[in-house]
Amino acid sequence: MDRPARAVLTRIALVIPQLIGLTALVFLLVRLLPGDPVISRLGGVAPQESIDNLRHKLGLDLPIHVQYLNYMKGLLHGDLGDSWRTAQPVMEDIKMRLPATLELLILGMGIAVFLGLLVGVISAGKPGGLVDRLTILYALLAGSMPEFYIGLILVFVFYVTLGVAPAPAGRLGIAMLPPPRLTGMYLIDSVMAGQWDTFRDALRHLALPVITLSFWQAGAIMKMTRSTMLQIDESDFINYARLVGVKPSIMRRYTLRNALPPIISLAITIFAILIGAVVLIEQVFSWGGLGQYSVQSVISADYEAVTGFLMIAASISLLLFIVMDVLYALIDPRVKL
Amino acid sequence: MDGVKRLSGTLGRDVRYLVGFFRARPLSVVGLVLVLIFVSLMVFGRSLAPYDPEKASSDFLFPPGPKHWMGTDRAGLDVFSRILVAPQVDLTIGLSAAALAVLIGTPLGVISGYMHNWYGSTIARVFDVLQCLPPFVVAMCLVAFAGQSVSNVIIVIALLNSPLFVRLVRSKVHSVQERKFVEAAACLGNSKWRIMFRHLLPNSLEPVLIQFPVNAGWAILLTSGLSFVGAGVRPPTPEWGAMIAVGAPLLVTGQWWVAMFPGIAVGLCVLGLALSANALEILLDPTRR
């Protein structure tokens, strides 16, 4: 079996035990938290009988490993239990809200990577130059501020002061109806349905939160791109290319290609960071996505919803890290898994 | 400079080196000054505040002016005083959480890096899985369900940040253990534990020292995020994130000062820590002097 295939299979083989460990961890985490979900839902004055009834109904009177096995059985069928707060199955709640969050994450990530690479390459081309110094300053400042604060600044400047952005109150204006649901992402759905007004409105509402997310972390990608490219610039094969007289544009392409592995792992780490940050951004912009759902669930002690959300978010992160490891091994022949 | 030259041998040389270092890197000076300011505020903030940060007054929603330099919020609390006193909470949480994360993560990292048996790699795999949990949501859960106290916030943030130190120390130990003095120690009959904690640990601390201020900065950002959604320290304790939360709805009606100033304070504090970490990185690396 050749190297790439072996690398991929080895890493994938680890997925199952890690996923099982992860689900067990999340399950334990929520179940072992202090506070009794039954009492907090029924109130302190409820009669013992109703407490026992609810406890039995929720399956909380079973030993914990039995609870876990039942939960996993349900998980494999796509059943994450019912949310106490919304009275809907958690899976339905998540399916409704996931596209909103994904739209933010994909766009935010895309712009961050694009800007980061672009400015990073320009910076590396002229180390010590104006673009370079401004970039370093910007990366330092943006990374030091809380992401929700950046969102608030943007709201204040563009909505309150300049009046060019819509109010931070969701994905569409009050008078707009969402497009017929294909993917749940308004940009795609409105284009597919030919509703250009809706498309424009969705775009306007997406602008500020996406800019917040991307500008917050683009600095990190810029710095990494810049420093990796400068490092590679000093390597033997680039020096050789320079001596031999290869065109600078071609050299830049080769430098970038060799600089990609650490940039890719940083990008994936940043994606995981953004998954966490999107929760706060959704609060600021009342986005109605998974982030807000998780905050509301935690505040109302909705254990099923919280467990469901954590399972999904943690599994996505785990898969991302595995993809990262595999990609790194595939791209860089020197790395051993 | 003559007095400095006359200082015994290397001390004089070191001081002159430091002076040159800081002259060439103004940002490092900025960083250290900022950290000093905020640490002093952590200790002396309360006595420097012109108004009582937790006592409501009748001066609601004053814009920044001569009486209240940074304005007041809806309850008449003076923003400037609250910003001065907030480091007592924010910086305490940040530094303690980072320190605790170091205390948890470093020994585990050494063990995981040196012991090539099953529990060394298990520690690594377990922490690998731990880092998949979205830190903010987990922190929110743990603090919301365990109770919103300063010590709970510290413990939760420390637990969430420790995998990073485990990884950092583990990879440093991998390279340190190849060095001759470790081989010599083993040959002389030192037990594994002695090698790990007498030889490997002290020599693997460099990346930890550099990461510590950065980590404290993240802890502060995480704390302010938690308070922003209401899962952090309880009001009316002055805390930058909580102040931003109070000011957020006021932004839309034009009272920008309640939210904007605390945000600048957080930014400056975290920036100072990040710049100090950069300075430490260069100072500690003998090849870059």
**Do the Cβ atoms of A272 and A105 come closer than 8 Å?**
no
Name every chain A residue with its beta carbon within 8 A of the beta carbon of B129: 18, 21-22, 25, 318
pLDDT at B163: 86
Domain hosting B44: range is: 12-288
What is the rounded CA–CA span in Å between residue A101 and residue A78? 20
Question: Which of A44-53, A215-224, B69-78, B99-108 has the highest mean predicted lDDT (pLDDT)?
Answer: B99-108
Interface test with A, best of B130, B132, B160 (most A CBs within 10 A): B132
Of A192 and A332, the one with more pLDDT:
A192
pLDDT digits (tens, 9 = 90+) for A200-242: 888 999 999 999 999 988 888 888 888 888 888 888 888 888 8
B264: confidence class by pLDDT, cuts 50, 70, 90: very high
On average, the pLDDT of chain A sits at 84
Q: Is the pLDDT of residue A187 over 80?
A: yes
**Do the Cβ atoms of A62 and A73 come closer than 8 Å?**
no
**Do the Cβ atoms of A283 and B229 come closer than 8 Å?**
yes
Kindly state whether B30 is in contact with chain A, defined as any CB-CB distance less than 8 angstroms.
Answer: no
Kindly state whether B234 is in contact with chain A, defined as any CB-CB distance less than 8 angstroms.
Answer: no
Nearest to B251 among A152, A298, A317 (CB): A152
Name every chain A residue with its beta carbon within 8 A of the beta carbon of B130: 25
pLDDT at B91: 92
Kindly state whether B259 is in contact with chain A, defined as any CB-CB distance less than 8 angstroms.
Answer: yes
Gap from B100 CA to chain A (nearest CA, Å): 20
Interface test with B, best of A101, A148, A160, A269 (most B CBs within 10 A): A148
Gap from B186 CA to chain A (nearest CA, Å): 28
Name every chain A residue with its beta carbon within 8 A of the beta carbon of B268: 144
The shares of helix, strand and coil residues in chain A, as percent rounded to the nearest 5, are 75, 0, 25
Q: Is the pLDDT of residue A276 over 80?
A: yes
Please state, for a pLDDT cut of 90, what percent of chain A lies above it: 12
Name every chain B residue with its beta carbon within 8 A of the beta carbon of A284: 248
The secondary element (H helix, E strand) that includes residue A1 is none
For B191, other C-beta atoms within 10 Å of its C-beta total 11
ipTM rounded to 2 decimals: 0.84
pLDDT at A317: 84
pLDDT at B233: 80
B215: confidence class by pLDDT, cuts 50, 70, 90: very high
On average, the pLDDT of chain B sits at 84
pLDDT at A2: 63
Q: Do A140 and B252 lie within an 8 Å CB cutoff?
A: no
User: Which residues make Cβ contacts (< 8 Å) with residue A298, sequence separation at least 6?
Assistant: A306, B137, B140, B141, B144, B231
Q: Is the pLDDT of residue A263 over 80?
A: yes
Query: Residue B216 carries which side chain, given as an amino acid letter?
Result: A
Kindly state whether B250 is in contact with chain A, defined as any CB-CB distance less than 8 angstroms.
Answer: no
Q: Is the pLDDT of residue B120 over 80?
A: no
Query: Residue A216 carries which side chain, given as an amino acid letter?
Result: W
Nearest to A321 among B132, B140, B268 (CB): B132
Name every chain A residue with its beta carbon within 8 A of the beta carbon of B248: 152, 284
What is the rounded CA–CA span in Å between residue A261 and residue A318? 19
A34: confidence class by pLDDT, cuts 50, 70, 90: low
Bond preceding residue B236 cis, omega within 30 of 0: yes
Name every chain A residue with its beta carbon within 8 A of the beta carbon of B123: none
Name every chain A residue with its beta carbon within 8 A of the beta carbon of B121: none
What Å distances lie between residue A120 and A82, A150, A157, CA to CA? 47, 22, 27
Q: Is B160 left (phi over 0), alpha (psi -120 to 50) or beta?
A: alpha
A4: confidence class by pLDDT, cuts 50, 70, 90: low
**Do the Cβ atoms of A172 and A205 come closer than 8 Å?**
yes
A35: confidence class by pLDDT, cuts 50, 70, 90: low
Nearest to A33 among B146, B266, B268 (CB): B146
Q: Is A13 left (phi over 0), alpha (psi -120 to 50) or beta?
A: alpha
Nearest to B134 among A141, A275, A284 (CB): A275
What is the rounded CA–CA span in Å between residue A119 and residue A222? 6
Q: Which two tokens stand for residue A196?
A: 């250009």
Task: Decide if B1 is inside a domain.
Answer: no
Chains A–B, number of C-beta pairs less than 8 Å apart: 138
Search chain B and give the residue with CA nearest A320: B132
Reduce the secondary structure of A125-150 to three states and give it as a string: HCCCCHHHHHHHHHHHHHHHCCHHHH
Q: What is the mean pLDDT of residues A26-34?
A: 77
pLDDT at B6: 54
A3: confidence class by pLDDT, cuts 50, 70, 90: low
pLDDT at A7: 66
DSSP A155: I
Name every chain B residue with its beta carbon within 8 A of the beta carbon of A22: 129, 132
Question: Which of A58-62, A169-173, B65-69, B247-251 has the highest mean predicted lDDT (pLDDT)?
Answer: B247-251
For B211, other C-beta atoms within 10 Å of its C-beta total 23
Task: Decide if B3 is inside a domain.
Answer: no
Q: Do B128 and A160 lie within an 8 Å CB cutoff?
A: no
What is the rounded CA–CA span in Å between residue B269 and residue A109? 27
Q: Is the pLDDT of residue A149 over 90?
A: yes
Residue B224: CATH number of its domain: 1.10.3720.10
Name every chain A residue with its beta carbon within 8 A of the beta carbon of B241: 146
Could you write out the DSSP letters of every residue in B90-117?
Answer: HHHHHHHHHHHHHHHHHHHHHHHHH--S
Q: Which of B123-132, B153-162, B205-214 has the lowest mean pLDDT?
A: B123-132
**Do the Cβ atoms of A41 and A53 come closer than 8 Å?**
no
- CATH level 3 topology of A91-331: MetI-like fold (1.10.3720)
Q: Do A283 and B229 lie within an 8 Å CB cutoff?
A: yes
What is the rounded CA–CA span in Å between residue B115 and residue B193? 10
What is the rounded CA–CA span in Å between residue A157 and residue A165? 9
pLDDT at A335: 62
Q: Is the pLDDT of residue B203 over 70?
A: yes
Nearest of B243, B223, B221, B244 to residue B232 by alpha carbon: B223
Q: What is the mean pLDDT of residues B120-125?
A: 74
**Do the Cβ atoms of A306 and B141 come closer than 8 Å?**
yes
Domain boundaries along the sequence of chain A: 3-89, 91-331
Query: Residue A275 carries which side chain, given as an amino acid letter?
Result: I
Whole-model pTM over 0.90:
no
Q: Do A21 and B141 lie within an 8 Å CB cutoff?
A: no
Q: Do B132 and A306 lie within an 8 Å CB cutoff?
A: no
pLDDT at A38: 75
Task: Decide if B7 is inside a domain.
Answer: no
Question: Which of A250-254, A297-301, B99-103, B199-203 has the highest mean predicted lDDT (pLDDT)?
Answer: B99-103
pLDDT at B97: 94
The total of structural domains in chain B comes to 1
How far is C-alpha B131 from the chain's CA centre? Answer: 19
pLDDT at B141: 81
What is the rounded CA–CA span in Å between residue B17 and residue B11? 10
Nearest to A280 among B131, B228, B270 (CB): B228
Name every chain B residue with its beta carbon within 8 A of the beta carbon of A33: 141-142, 145-146
Q: Do B263 and A149 lie within an 8 Å CB cutoff?
A: yes
Kindly state whether B270 is in contact with chain A, defined as any CB-CB distance less than 8 angstroms.
Answer: yes
Could you write out the DSSP letters of every residue in chain B?
Answer: -HHHHHS-HHHHHHHHHHHHHHHH-HHHHHHHHHHHHHHHHHHHHHHH-SS-TT---S-TTPPS-SSSTT-B-TT--BHHHHHHHTHHHHHHHHHHHHHHHHHHHHHHHHHHHH--SHHHHHHHHHHHHHTTS-HHHHHHHHHHHH---HHHHHHHHHHHHHHHHHHHHHHHHHHHTTSHHHHHHHHTT--HHHIIIIIIHHHTHHHHHHHHHHHHHHHHHHHHHHHHTT-SSPTTS--HHHHHHHHHHHHHTT-THHHHHHHHHHHHHHHHHHHHHHHHHHHH-GGG-
Determine phi and psi for A89, rounding to 5 degrees: -60, 140
What is the rounded CA–CA span in Å between residue A315 and residue A311? 6
pLDDT at B9: 67
Q: What is the mean pLDDT of residues B44-66?
A: 81
